[in-house]
Structure formats: structure tokens, C-alpha cells
A and B are shown apart, each in its own frame.
Chain A
Amino acid sequence: MFEAILSFLPRAIAQGIPLLYGSTGEIVTQKSGNMNLGIPGVMYVGGICGVIGAFLYEQSLPSPDAINSFLAVLIPTLFCLLGSLLMGLLFCFLTVTLRANQNVTGLAMTTFGVGFGNFFGGSLVKLSGADMPFLALSATSNCFKVTLPFADKLGVFGDLVFGYSFLVYLAIAIALIASFLINRTRTGLHLRAVGENPNTADAAGINVNLYKYLATCIGCMIAGLGGLYYVMDYAGGIWANNAFGDRGWLAIALVIFTIWRPNVGVLASFLFGGLYILHMYIPSGMNLAVKELYKMLPYVVTIIVLIISSLRNQRDKQPPQSLGLPYFREDR
């Protein structure tokens, strides 16, 4: 039993990290009043841009052994950030500058992003001339997977706490920093004001559009890292089309589940990661069908939280008030 839990926890955490990136990014975005339903697409774009970067770098090397681990991490990360930044700028341009409907823009971005990921993923597979329908960048992935050297020596505790790669700790750090910034600083106060009531914020001299742009773009870059983590670390550098699945939507579910608090998101994402893979650990024997029902759990839990938070109707546990609404100064 203890053994099972020990093998379960790290995997739950590994599953949870992409969700944590996605939800932290989306919380930052939603705090500015922008509801970015394009996050699943952004995460695909982040993932594939990292893959493109890694692919180009690996191709430019004379031999796989000549890999410089610093560059191998830096290049894909920069590509990933750039790709997700462009997606964020696109969303902002359409919804903030052109005041388009956020739901429609977000869904279009998801269609585009998932298509973009699968298209370039598929094309790179062809370019690399592999027989298999996926792309393996194991050399780059190994650089991403470097763990702390003393992790192995600390036994069970070391594996559980120190046995992860830097992207895992980065995700937790970003979530905690985001939480601090949103709740404890003046910038965060302004950001929340923009999300709650842009009219008031504008009257108080806050540059509403600037805040919306910054929050959404930074949010997208954070979410994009989730895609990068998934491909480079979790999947071992293997890009297969549609492998990322519906994790992007799960990240949005996590936003509601944590009631817009990134610090809670750290533990909640591990919980969701656990729920996501729970079906592999439930002894169901030959009855494969039940496993499909277990996969439903994260969504059902989210719905329940959504209902309960609206039932209790506490003022500090609500979505930002102007979430999803465009702001036009002359429109009152």
C-alpha cells in the first residue's frame, strides 16, 4: 500500500504541473477581466514552439553528443515563450484593442493553436524522416530532466521532494509569486481593480488596457511553459499529435476549483493530476469501462466547486466581476 502511494504521488505531481502552469496563467489573465478560453491552444503552441526550437538546435549539431545542455534548455524555452507571447498578443489585440467577444476569440484561438501544434508536429515528424508517427527529441529532453544531484541519496524523501526537474519547481515558484503579486502588492491591487470594475480603475488613473495586455500576455507565457514541460519532461521529448489532450480545459477547471488563488493551485493541481491518473491505480480487474468513468472525476469535482461557490455567495470567492466583458471608456 505504502509502495503504491509512493509511486502514485510523483506521477500525480508530474501530471499536475502542466495544469498548474495553465491555471496560474489563466488566473493572472482572468484577474484582469479577460477570460481566455484559448489557453488549451496556447499550451499546444507553447509545446510545439519548444519542440521546433529543440529540433532546430539538434539538427544544427554535428552529433548528438555535442549538445550543450545550457543552450538545449534555453533555446526551446525562448521559442516557447515567444510563441505563447504571440498568441497572447493576438488575443489582446482582438479582445482589448478591437473589443471582440472573448469567448469566440478564445475558442478560435484554441482551434488555431491545436491545429498549429498538430500541423507542425506532423510536419516535423516527416522532416525528421522517422518511421514512427511521433518525434523524439530525447537528447534535449535529457537536459530538461536534470534533477538535483543529491536527490538520489536522500532515499524516499529525496525522491518525493527533490526528485523533479527545474520546470516543476519553477511552476510552483511562479504560482507562489503570482499569488503574492496579486494579493499583496499595489500592482496586484490595480490588476484586481481592472478585473472587478474597469470604469473605477480607469477613473483612478490606472491604465486599463496596459494592465489587460500585460496580464494576458504574461498569463499566456506561463501557460505556454506548461506545454513545454509536458513535451520535454513528462513525455520525454516525444511529440505525438493530440497527446496533450484536454489538459488545457482541465487547467481552466482548476482556475475555478481554486477560486482564483494560484497558491492553492499548487496543491489543487497535484490533486487534479492524481484524479487524472487515478483510473490507472483503481483495481477494476477486467472491467475497463469503469476507468472511463474515473476520468470524469476532475470535471465533476469542478462542477461541484462551481456550484458550491455560487451557493455560498461570499464576496471574496467570486469570479472577477467584469470577467469576459470588453471595456470601452465611452460606453457607460
Chain B
Amino acid sequence: MNKTRQPLFHIVKRGETPWYFGWGVRAISIVLALLCCGLITTLVTGENPFQFFATVIDGSFGSSRKFMVLLQNTAMLLCIALALTPAFKMRFWNIGGEGQALAGALAAAACMILMKDLPNLVVIPCMVVTSLLAGAVWGAVPAFFKAKFGTNETLFTLMMNYVATQIVAYFSVVWENPKGSGSIGVINPISKIGWFPDLFGSKYALNIIIVVLVTVGMFIYLNYTKHGYEISVVGESERTARYIGIKVEKIVIRTMLISGAICGLAGLLLVGGTNHTLNSAIVDGRGFTAVMVSWLAKFNPIWMVLTSFLLVFLQRGAGEIATDFGLNASFGDILTGVILFFIIGGEFFITYKLILTKSSKKEEK
């Protein structure tokens, strides 16, 4: 007599699966998520679901300008996601991308404002150096304390975001233009000092090219260099790393310097390349979205191109829906959230599988 209650199924970790299995599962989650989003939109607006998809596509590909904005936003999100990746691979939860990018943006804007009488040949290199440095410092401070004293890096980097936000808010008032507006208007609108040059007649082209280079560089750095190897060893097991003679503290600080510097680069591109102004919302939450982009791509820079494109595509689409149907712009956030929940939930089925428990009678036979 077996009276113990048996669960209906139990969970087992999958062994090796072919690479396409994981992506198949992810593709299914995304399709399900999109269907769910279509359903929600239908419920809210009363439009038929096909209209939803048509509007989403129109929001991204409707005109060449929309398409360029799509690419630019993808590039910026991708840049921050790439920056966070080496830290994540090391199991250092850097959710301070927002602050690090803001630090970079602040440094770039400071150069543009304080050196407005100097030629571009001097100002732009200064912007590059200072903003990379600012981002790196902003990232290295939590890393230093993590390495030396084991301070919780998730919470530290999170708090650093708001410190950066307030410093930027401070300078927005200090450098306000015109006086009394409380915000910095377009910097150097006439002399265009510190503005990055247009390529192919578009101000977005240079940013996109730079981010493509960073993507390739990061892929090589993580997979084919000694540094990349050290990062992955530290991430897999700190004890192993110490055992084989890797100085973990050094790796943590060095990696966060790089991570912060690339975030700073994103800030630089936002200020110098496209917005030509500074406010505390300039990074627009990308520091947080980038965490998800990087994680969804399993820290692989090439797949990150896809995941960041997907998220930006959906956000733009949802924004288009919001304007078309006179909805609130926050509708996009809801849809993004739903999609993320599906993808996050889907990851389970890649690592684990459910096995229905055979009833004990069968086993006895």
C-alpha cells in the first residue's frame, strides 16, 4: 500500500541540448507574448488583432526617419547592454548602467559647455576621454568596494544611479539656458562645437557604426582574449579562479572599469551624437532595459543585437499604437513587461523539463 501523495510531475534538469533547441523555445515564447499583446490591445482598443501587428510594423518601418530612429535606439540600448555584459559574465550584477551612462553624458556636456570657444579638433577628443573616464570611475567605485570588502554590488550600483541623476539635475540648473528655464537647451546650436559630424546625411549613422564596432570588439574580447577567459573563470567559480592564480580583485575592478567606460561611451554618443543637450532623463531607463537585453541573449554580444532590436521594435510599435488609438504612452511599458515575462518564463523550459510521474502501479508491473 502506497499512501504517500505523489506529485503529478517532477522537474529534471536537461542535459546538453542542441543550440537550436533553446532558440526554438525562445521563439515560441516571443510568439506567445506577441499573441498575448495583440489580445490585450484588442481588449483595450477594440481593434482587430491584425491591426495591432500592422501598426507595430508601421511604427518601426513606416518611413525612413522612423527606421533610422529605430536603429539609433537599438544602437544605444545595445551599447549599454554590451557594457554590462562583461560584468554579468563575472556574476557582478551591475544595474548601474543608467548612472554610468549619465556620468559619461555629463562629462561630454561639460566639455561642450566649458570649451565652447575652442575648435572641434580639441573639444571632441576631450569629450571622448572625459566621458569614458567618468563612466569608468562611476563603475569602478562599487567594484572597488565589492572587491575589497564584499559590499553588495547590486544595491550599490542601483544607488549610484540616483546619485548621478541628482548631480545631472544639479548641473541642469547651474548651466540652465535660457536663464530660469531650469533645463539646458540645445548646446552650442550655432557654432556646433562638440557636435559629432553627420555621416551619409544622418546624425544617427556615426553612432550606429561605433556601436557595431563595439559589438564586434566585445565579442572578440569576451571569447578570444585572455581577459575574457579570466572573466568567465571568475564568473563560474571564484575559488577556482583563486586556485589557478587569478587575482579576483584585480579582475573585478578592471572589468568594471571597462563596463563603466562603455556605458560612458553610450552617454557620450547620446549627448554628442544625437541629443546635443543634457537632462537627467537622457538615458531614459535604458540602463535597466539593458540588463534584460544582456540576460535574454545569454551574455552573447551577437545575439544581443537581436534582443535589443526586438525590444526597441516592440517599444516603438507600442508607442505607435498608443498615439494611433489616443492611448497613454505608458501602454508600451505594459507590453514590454508582458513580453519580458513570457521570455523570462520560457527560459525555464530550456534548462529544465517536466516529467509526468508514472503511477506507482505501472512501475510495479
A residues with CB within 8 A of B: 35, 37, 90, 93-94, 98-101, 103-105, 107-119, 121-123, 241, 246, 249, 252-253, 256, 288-290, 292-293, 295-296, 299-300, 302-303, 306-307, 310-311, 313, 319, 324, 328, 330-331
Contact = CB atoms under 8 A, between A and B. Distances in A.
A288 B182 contact: yes
Contacts of A101: 295, 344
A119 B291 contact: no
Nearest to B338: A112
Interface size class of B (residues with CB under 8 A): 35 or more
26 contacts: A35-B154, A90-B341, A100-B347, A100-B348, A103-B95, A107-B291, A107-B292, A108-B340, A109-B337, A112-B334, A116-B337, A122-B328, A249-B162, A252-B158, A253-B159, A290-B170, A292-B167, A292-B169, A295-B166, A299-B166, A300-B159, A303-B163, A307-B149, A310-B151, A310-B152, A331-B13
A111 B158 CA distance: 15
A194 B182 CA distance: 49
Given A35-B154, A103-B154, A324-B154, A114 B330 contact: yes
B288 A107 contact: yes
Instruction: Name the 7 nearest CB pairs between A and B, nearest first.
Output: A115-B333, A112-B337, A122-B328, A118-B330, A289-B173, A108-B340, A296-B166
B194 to A, nearest CB: 22
Interface in B251-293: 285, 288-289, 291-292
B196 interface: no
B344 A103 contact: no
A117 to B, nearest CB: 8
Nearest to B349: A98
Contacts of B145: 307, 310
Chain A, interface SS category = helix
B235 to A, nearest CB: 14
Contacts of A108: 292, 337, 340-341, 344
Given A101-B344, A292-B166, A118 B159 contact: no
Contacts, number: 158
Contacts of B149: 307, 310-311, 313
Given A289-B170, A293-B166, A115 B344 contact: no
Contacts of B348: 98-100
A306 B153 CA distance: 10
A331 B352 CA distance: 12
A202 B288 CA distance: 34
A7 to B, nearest CB: 25
Contacts of A296: 162-163, 166-167
Contact of A115 (B154, B162, B331): B331
Contact of A249 (B152, B158, B331, B337): B158
Contacts of A295: 166, 169
Interface string B170-207: 11111000000010000000000000000000000000
A293 B344 contact: no
A289 B32 CA distance: 48
